[in-house]
Amino acid sequence: MEIVMAFVCGFLFMAAVYLILSRSLLRIIIGTGLLSHGAHLLILTMGGLGGESPPVLADGVTDYADPLPQALILTAIVISFGVTAFFLVLAYRAYQELGTDDTSLMKGSDEDD
Amino acid sequence: MKANNLILQFTSKIIFFIIFFFAVHIFFAGHYTPGGGFVGGLLMASAIVLLVISFDLKTVQTILPINYMYMTATGLIVAVGTAAFPMLLNKPFFTHFFDYFTLPLIGKTSLHTAALFDLGVFLVVVGVTMTIIQTIGEDE
Amino acid sequence: MQVLAIFIPVIVAIALPFLFKKIRAIHTGWFVLIVPVALFLYYLTFINDTKDGLSAISKLEWIPSLDIAFTSYIDGLSLLFSLLITGIGSLVVLYSIFYLDKTKEKLHNFYIYLLMFMTAMLGVVQSDHVITLYLFWELTSISSFLLIAYWSDRDASRFGALKSMMITVAGGLLMLGGLLLLAMMGGSFSIRELIAAGDLSQGNYFTLALVLILLGAFTKSAQFPFYIWLPDAMEAPTPVSAYLHSATMVKAGIYLVARMTPVFAVSDVWIWLVAGVGILTLTWGSLFAAKQTDLKAILAFSTVSQLGLIMSLLGVSAMAFHVEDAAGTIFKYAGFAAIFHLINHATFKGGLFMIAGIVDHETGTRDIRKLGGLMSIMPISFTVALIGSLSMAGVPLLNGFLSKEMFLTAMLSVMEFDLFNFETFGVLFPVLAFIASVFTFVYSCYFVGHTFLGKYKPESLPQKAHEAPIGMLISPIILAALVIIIFWIPNTVGEWLIKPAVMAVQPFLYTSPAEVMVEVSAWHGFNTELQMTLGIIILGLLLFMTLAKWQKAYAIWPRKLTLNSLYDFVIFAIFERGTENFSKLYMTNSIRRYLIYMFGAIIVMVIGTLFIKDAFVVDWDSGSPIAAYEITLIAVLVIGTLTALFGKSRITSIIGLGAVGYTVALFFVIFNAPDLALTQLVIETISVALFLLAFYHLPKLGRVEERVRFQLGRAIISVGVGVMVTLIALSAHSQKLVDSISSYYKETVYSLAGGGNIVNVILVDYRGFDTMFEIAVLAIAGMGIFSMIKLRMGKEKKNESQ
């Protein structure tokens, strides 16, 4: 399963990078969203997907899933939410102010230089 | 969302409380079973978001007149304060304390300073999520 | 208390903005004045101990784990400097009260910088720990930068400030290297212990450390060829020039050399560098001082020259280490002369700077070509200037004469030194000293003569000249009085201040100040030194009379060959334009191109490391089994990703992303991560709401035509990243080189942390720092969003202008 998941992560990253390298702001945002999903799965896969039960103490259970990657991912999920929201607002504010969502046209006006 | 969604509004009023209490439960249960400040906070925020969707921002603002920025700040202070408090007792930053007590009505239970820290997390998560939703929603 | 005294100025500085804002009626300087005066009185109490050769030490721990502490060590040398810093500081603050207008100037800034400097300077001269010495050393550079740029709307101020900081901070960094090498060799951070450690010259890096430390000292003390920052630093307000750039900061280098003399005196490189650079600077500075037309520039070059004088004396004082029984021979004079001249220089040069400021303040110009004949209009200033200048020139009845005589004695002693090739080149020292002294005499006369004597030219002055207010004159008068008083009581000063300091410089000669057998006397027969002085005065007068004729000769030297143009070349041509052109090669202003650089670099680095280190291993056997529903989930995930990737409208792409998110949540469920699954589900829901709310504002997805070449590069990079991630995931899964800390968490979660949900306990307890910073980041993101939407600076400005 881990090997399959490794390829899934690679696929998610590939799609994410492809989107991030596009000109449209919205695609970039979606790309970052995909990137964080990919990263979360990657951390989980690297830690190993074994374990019989969730990492919660219970009687008679000894084979827990690895709790450390989960803790890291939990932090990452919330952060990526904040980042996505920030990007979203940044994008639409930029769109409102500059009238374009094409990053190659957003080089600032001459006055800024 | 100007249409008069009576069914949506009626059900969301009930569901709001269900989610609200579920959020509180998840928050407190977090130390022993799945849950915690993050999930609890997000659930709480989603409960409020549900209200926002079925009514509108202004109505929700009058029902829950909360300044979410202050909420975020309070959360940060609670979290950092819990972490910093042991320094006054000459213990390292972030030392947690816990013990077991028998309280009336509830019975034997544990009290943990980690829960206070988690409360800070909870407040920040709710505060930030709602700040984001609110500011975007208000923007015309 | 002793070590805290260092910090008193900067602590007081905190209160200044409030005093300045609330109590506008009283000049803020009056509050500031209390600090140096109190400290001066405090440091006076140390004289009792230090004059018997005792010292006081006080320590404040800073970073105990690295053995770094603020240590205040006050012996004769430190005390002398501390007294200079606080004493001249008091006078300068008093002077500045009348110099800076309380209604027009940003006094709070000025005095904060000044007090910051005072702390830094006290720290430099009292620190026994090399790291804190460096810290304070750079702090003096920074505060000097701020003070020079005090009138920050002037180009010249900013240029001068930057120049001084570039040179002194660079020197400071080199010095840090030297100090660390020294500390390594000596096995201690404490300067006292390094001195006590004895001969370190066998260490591998001894000469390197020596040169590095000297570079720090030379840049700070404006020695040749680093002096070029000092004339430009004269853009600072005059009180600053009088304080930092004549009396204190530029003497930090002198202090360092004096302090390090016991460590390095054994080395011939040290003697040659310190004495040689010193005498060269002395000559060079005095030659060029007579060229200047700006009053403060004359003083700046004269300061450079006088610092060179003290430096060369320190170099010569190290020779005593190599002479048998030096305490009884002619070699004993150099160390004493260095310290003595240091005090004298502070008195007369401080006064002269203040006079230059007064002339500037009252006539509106510092250009010596426009000035003249001010004697009758400004008689008090003239008297002070005359006393200061003549003392600088080395004329009898003033303290400068005494130290100048002794300087000549020391330079003559060089001829008797017969080690390290001094028997052949040593004769240069008295010769250069003589030439430099002649020119010192010339520019001293030039300074007074062309300002106060000659013809009064009211038409060329921007404002009508008049005598300065008495408050402004108090400080220069006190300094001028000291110039005279020291001439009459040199031996008292010697006993109280100089001899204890000399003992610190030459501990290899003396064990107590009383052993320093140097008596200063104004008359010691018609010897070589006196003949030289007479020669200097006669020749100097001659040259001064004919100044107008030969001053033009300076113009012969081409401007392009000066050190200043070298500096400009290095800074502008190499650093600014060169790096700019280089940057433009790859900085194309296209974010996507930068991203491609980044991703490309990551791919190359990671995949390269994987194969170079032979880290890529795949273990096909281990791993959990694959279930059918997992395959289904993967299929959904891939479809969702493809939808997000190729969606033609906004809503399709967003739905695609949402599908991926929910699938990931389901993955969390099957991989036994209930916390993650819960969080992911809720987050996904809120994200959808967020996208819906923002949907109205979002741009439509347009089909943008891309160039094929870029499209190809983009595809290659994306596939590269994908492959890289897959490789990492495979290798990370296939080899577990170290045991995971997770088992520790599992074992202790109940006993140590009193919890059951390991993930949550990790978040709030084991790795609480992560969570704390995470919520801080989250709060920042929230504030960022809030301010992006609520504060529309750009738009409001536009509306106002319409």
pLDDT tens-digit series, residues C142-193: 999 999 988 888 888 888 898 899 899 999 999 999 999 998 888 888 888 8
Q: What does the pLDDT profile of chain B (140 residues) look like in tens digits? A: 455 678 888 888 899 999 999 999 888 887 788 888 888 999 999 999 888 888 888 888 888 888 999 999 999 999 988 888 887 877 777 788 777 777 676 666 777 888 888 899 999 999 999 998 888 887 76
Residue A35 has pLDDT above 60, yes or no: yes
Contact list, C618 vs chain A (CB under 8 Å): 3
The minimal CB distance from A49 to the residues C671, C726, C759 is found for C671
Separation between Cα atoms, residue C411 and residue C416, nearest integer Å: 10
pLDDT in tens, C523-548: 776 777 788 888 888 888 888 888 77
Q: Is residue C176 part of a domain?
A: no
Confidence band for C605, pLDDT divided at 50, 70 and 90: very high
Find tokens 């800076």 and name the residue: C100
Are C644 and C776 in a shared domain? no
Q: Is residue C229 part of a domain?
A: no
Q: Is residue C237 part of a domain?
A: no
The two structure tokens encoding residue C56: 């006081």
Residue C796 has pLDDT above 60, yes or no: no
In chain C, the residue whose alpha carbon lies closest to the alpha carbon of B79 is C772
Are C695 and C787 in a shared domain? no
For the entire predicted model, the pTM comes to: 0.69
Mean pLDDT along residues C427-437: 88
In chain A, the residue whose alpha carbon lies closest to the alpha carbon of C681 is A77
Q: Is residue C650 part of a domain?
A: yes
Number of domains in chain C: 3
Report the DSSP pairing between strands B98-103 and B107-112.
antiparallel
pLDDT in tens, C75-126: 889 999 999 999 999 999 999 988 888 777 788 888 999 999 999 999 999 9
Are C321 and C404 in a shared domain? yes
Of how many residues is chain C composed? 802
pLDDT in tens, A56-110: 777 777 778 888 888 899 989 989 999 989 988 888 888 887 777 777 777 654 4
Q: Testing the interface with C: which of B91, B135, B138, B140 to mutate, by most C Cβ within 10 A? A: B135
CB A56 to CB B32 under 8 A?
yes
C631 CB neighbour count, 10 Å cutoff: 11
The angle that helices C399-414 and C295-319 make with each other, rounded to 10 degrees, is 50
Task: Please name which of B65, C756, C539 lies closest in space to residue A61, comparing C-alpha atoms.
Answer: C756
Domain extent for C654: 632-703
The minimal CB distance from B132 to the residues A57, A78, A85 is found for A85
Mean pLDDT along residues C720-746: 84
Contact list, C668 vs chain B (CB under 8 Å): none
pLDDT in tens, A84-95: 899 888 888 888
Task: Please name which of C518, C566, C489 lies closest in space to residue C229, comparing C-alpha atoms.
Answer: C566
Contact list, B30 vs chain A (CB under 8 Å): none
CB A85 to CB B33 under 8 A?
no
pLDDT in tens, C279-329: 999 998 988 888 888 888 889 999 999 999 999 999 988 888 887 777 777
What is the distance in angstroms between the Cα of A61 and the nearest Cα belonging to chain C? 11
Separation between Cα atoms, residue A89 and residue C327, nearest integer Å: 79
Bridge partners, C56 (sequence order): C74
Is the separation of the CB atoms in C633 and A9 below 8 Å? no
CB proximity under 8 Å: A 7-66 to C:
7-15, 17-27, 30, 33-34, 37-38, 40-42, 44-57, 64-66
The minimal CB distance from B131 to the residues C679, C757, C782 is found for C782
CB proximity under 8 Å: A 69-98 to C:
70-71, 73-75, 77-79, 81-86, 88-93, 95-97
Separation between Cα atoms, residue C213 and residue C723, nearest integer Å: 52
Q: CA angle, corner C634, sides to C631 and C640, nearest 5?
A: 145
Average pLDDT, chain C: 85
Is the separation of the CB atoms in A20 and A91 below 8 Å? no
Is the separation of the CB atoms in C407 and C305 below 8 Å? no
**Rg of chain B (C-alpha set):** 18
The minimal CB distance from B33 to the residues C679, C682, C756 is found for C756
Residues 6+ apart with CB under 8 A from C528: C408, C412
In chain C, the residue whose alpha carbon lies closest to the alpha carbon of A99 is C699
In chain A, the residue whose alpha carbon lies closest to the alpha carbon of C634 is A8
Separation between Cα atoms, residue B76 and residue C773, nearest integer Å: 10
Separation between Cα atoms, residue A88 and residue C692, nearest integer Å: 11
Are C367 and C478 in a shared domain? yes
For C500, counting Cβ atoms within 10 Å of its Cβ (0-12 exposed, 13-18 middle, 19+ buried), the class is: buried
Chains with ≥3 CB–CB distances under 8 Å to B: A, C
CB A54 to CB C674 under 8 A?
yes
pLDDT of residue B105: 67
Mark which of C682, C703, C724 sits at the end of a domain. C703
Are C545 and C648 in a shared domain? no
Q: Testing the interface with C: which of B2, B20, B39, B54 to mutate, by most C Cβ within 10 A? A: B39
pLDDT in tens, C375-390: 888 888 899 999 999 9
Buried b (16+ CB within 10 A) or exposed e, A49-71: bbbeebbbbeeeeeebbbbbbbb
Domain borders along chain B are 6-138
Residue C516 has pLDDT above 80, yes or no: no
Q: Which amino acid is at C628?
A: A
The two structure tokens encoding residue B21: 């209490």
Is the separation of the CB atoms in C356 and C238 below 8 Å? yes
- C74 phi-psi bin (left φ>0, alpha ψ -120 to 50, beta other): beta
In chain C, the residue whose alpha carbon lies closest to the alpha carbon of B73 is C779
pLDDT in tens, C629-664: 888 999 999 999 999 888 878 888 888 999 999 999
Are C344 and C414 in a shared domain? yes
Q: Is residue C239 part of a domain?
A: no
Separation between Cα atoms, residue C794 and residue C796, nearest integer Å: 6
Residue C570 has pLDDT above 60, yes or no: yes
Type and span of the H or E element at B110: strand B107-112
The per-residue DSSP string of C222-248 comes to T-TTGGGHHHHGGGS-HHHHHIIIIIS
Percent of residues, chain C, with pLDDT higher than 90? 23
Prior bond of C225 cis (ω within 30°) = yes
Are C466 and C524 in a shared domain? yes
Mark which of C511, C538, C556 sits at the end of a domain. C556
Separation between Cα atoms, residue C775 and residue B128, nearest integer Å: 9
pLDDT of residue C705: 58
Contact list, C746 vs chain A (CB under 8 Å): 55, 64, 67
What is the distance in angstroms between the Cα of B7 and the nearest Cα belonging to chain A? 30
CB B137 to CB C693 under 8 A?
yes
Mark which of C509, C527, C556 sits at the end of a domain. C556
Contact list, B39 vs chain C (CB under 8 Å): 675, 678-679, 682
Are C515 and C649 in a shared domain? no
Type and span of the H or E element at B99: strand B98-103
Does this complex have an ipTM over 0.90? yes
pLDDT of residue C134: 93
pLDDT of residue C706: 61
Are C298 and C360 in a shared domain? yes
CB B117 to CB C769 under 8 A?
no
Are C683 and C802 in a shared domain? no
pLDDT in tens, C662-699: 999 999 998 888 889 999 999 998 888 888 778 777 77
